Amino acid sequence: MQDVESFLRIAIERAGYAAVVELLGDSVQEMELDENHKGLWLSFKKERIVVRHDSSGFVCFKVDVAKERLALLHEAQKATHFVDFEAPGIAPDSYALEVAVVFPGGEYQTLIKPASYWDHWSYDAQDMHYLSREQLINQGQPSLAVAQEMNRLFDDKTLCSDNPVDCFWLDVLFEAAGIEPTFAVQPIESFVGRDAAGEIYDRLPVRKGHRALQDAQALSKAAADHFK
């Protein structure tokens, strides 16, 4: 029943206690909770699993029904697209200089030509991604072209990232492009929960240099290896 416990923990963490109870519907029996009890608690009673969460109350799930319905929830939100951005340093006026996405059946990677007002540059960051500003100007794609291509490729998808700052790079890119993204970027915790995310992070290789495609590939592999 440990897979059911894992499903419940992640689902409650991701969607909230009330949403999970609503999802499970007639498989749930709710009970009163002593006000002194706090936190998330689970126990197994034959074919049932009992969950206590903060002050919301006890619920008792039929394991077979809960497992089936939670599996559908997890499958619907399973990470399949893995994204990574590289940037010329961490600063309020920084921006994305490279993006890559690994997805079922393919990969996308491009350098991004700096917009006219993107003038931040860190040579410490350059020592990590090995890209010069001149290389970006000569080989990078304009922000509008990158944004349009990403919208075309990843429309209505949710891309999984190992760094919350990737959401910031996405916003900066699309602001420069002058259009809205038709996809989302979420940290891996949103897909698998904090505990599993920590285990996936532990599987990522430690290296000095960072390029977007290598990092996206590493995250995809680490996630796949974790769930083997």
d(CA 63, CA 225): 27
d(CA 208, CA 78): 30
* pLDDT computed for residue 194 by the predictor: 79
Architecture per CATH, domain 81-226, reads as 2-Layer Sandwich (3.30)
Bridge partners of residue 184, in order along the sequence: 158
pLDDT in tens, the chain (228 residues): 445 556 666 666 666 666 666 666 555 544 444 444 433 344 444 455 555 544 454 455 555 555 555 554 554 457 899 999 999 988 888 999 999 999 999 999 999 999 999 999 888 888 888 889 999 999 999 999 999 999 999 999 999 999 888 999 999 999 999 999 999 998 888 787 777 888 889 999 887 778 999 999 999 999 888 876
d(CA 128, CA 122): 10
Q: Are 2 and 68 in contact (CB under 8 A)?
A: no
Q: What tokens appear for 17 in the block? A: 């206690």
Nearest to 129 by CA among 208, 207, 219, 211: 211
* pLDDT computed for residue 198 by the predictor: 87
* pLDDT computed for residue 2 by the predictor: 47
d(CA 116, CA 178): 14
Q: Are 160 and 133 in contact (CB under 8 A)?
A: no
d(CA 162, CA 141): 24
* φ, ψ of residue 176 in degrees (nearest 5): -65, -35
The pTM for the full model equals 0.69
For the chain, domain boundaries = 2-76, 81-226
Number of CB atoms found within 10 A of residue 30's CB: 11
